[in-house]
Amino acid sequence: MPSTLYRLKEHSNEDKQHYKLFNEMTEIVPQVARQLDNEKQLVEYKGDITFVPSKDIVHQVKNDKYIGTISTHRRLSPDSTIYAQYERTLQMKPSFDKEQCHILGMILISNKQMIVAGYNNNKIKIIDICHGRLVSQISVSSEPRDVIKLPQNQVAVALPDEQHIQIMSYTYTSMSLDRRIDVGNKCYCVAYWQDMLVVGCNFNPGKLIVLDFDGNIVEVFDTPGLFGGPKKIVISIDEKFIYVSDYNNVSKRSKFLKIDWQGNIVQRFEDQGYVSPTGIQELIGGTLLVCYRNIHTIVRLSRSFKECPIVGLEKANLHFLQAVIYCKRDQKLYISCSSAHGFCADKIKIFSFELF
């Protein structure tokens, strides 16, 4: 019986649509006829035709010096060399903080503000980039390991010790705690994808868990040997792949992976000389920047995971790199790192990017 009622309702809706379309066609016929008649009269008209401009538009043009600007950006390719020019450093330890702000995660919420996760002092902070000052901060219940941006002015914070993802709301002057999503595993990093969270969990071995916002498990990637311990995960710009910085604290084995949504390894970057990958940033054109904490450098990889040129960072005195983000609008690179030979990433170094 319910299916019969559904079909009757469906037919009724179709009839209504047909009637509506018929009425609209009936009403538009006279309008089309009038338009055709006007066009015919205009073609046959033998007199002069004068264009009268709008006074408002003329006034606007006289008072405005320009109607817009044109900006150009070179297309980034694997063969192009990136030059990073150091600009300045943001210090992340206000005088009233008892502990240093060890920045393991950070995101841009505009080209003038960022949100950072302070691991040592259990704080999430809004930072004014232009003036290098603290705008607002809020305490979380345990040490945050990662922070990502969500739609509708929200962020997600990974709290591994409590096995939770903390959802928060923000304005450009304040933050508030919303709700928690139970992961059931130590969650070290998190990414957002199509109204779901992709969470990097555990180590020796590690795994990825895909959750909806009600905490229901959609998928788990835990093939033996796939992960030692995910430290950072990023969804590719085209949303087809997952990039994973992986480091096994026991075996000391490091690898950077590109996997598909079936958990298959598409590409792998693994070199004994590169230890402990952390932050990831994908640039337009498919090129990648990967922080390597223990060798104090950033590696640039092409789509096929071949190393590409990047000049300037070797002179920037980077140590113990953790997070990296890029502002496309201003072509600025932000890297959280420590002082020379330090082990607390309490500074954010800012670089401008140029291609040649």
pLDDT along the chain (356 residues), means of 10: 40 61 74 74 62 66 57 58 91 69 94 93 94 94 97 97 97 96 97 97 95 97 95 96 93 93 96 90 90 92 90 86 94 92 89 79
Strand partners, 291: 298
| pLDDT at residue 116, rounded to an integer | 96
| pLDDT at residue 339, rounded to an integer | 83
Residue 120's nearest CA partner among 96, 136, 144, 138 is: 144
What value, to the nearest 5°, has the Cα angle with vertex 96 and ends 94 and 100? 55
| pLDDT at residue 96, rounded to an integer | 57
Rg of the chain in Å (alpha carbons): 28
In which element (H, E) is residue 41 found? helix 2-44
- What is the C-alpha end-to-end distance of the chain, expressed in Å? 71
| pLDDT at residue 9, rounded to an integer | 41
> Can you give the residue ranges of every domain in the chain?
82-355
* Burial class of 149 by CB neighbour count within 10 A (0 to 12, 13 to 18, 19+): middle
Residue 231's nearest CA partner among 103, 101, 104, 100 is: 104
| pLDDT at residue 79, rounded to an integer | 62
Rounded CA-CA distance 125/115 in Å is 5
Please say whether the beta carbons of 224 and 243 come within 8 A: no
Looking at the domain covering 82-355, what would its CATH class be?
mainly beta
| pLDDT at residue 70, rounded to an integer | 57
Residue 231's nearest CA partner among 265, 199, 259, 260 is: 199
* Burial class of 40 by CB neighbour count within 10 A (0 to 12, 13 to 18, 19+): exposed
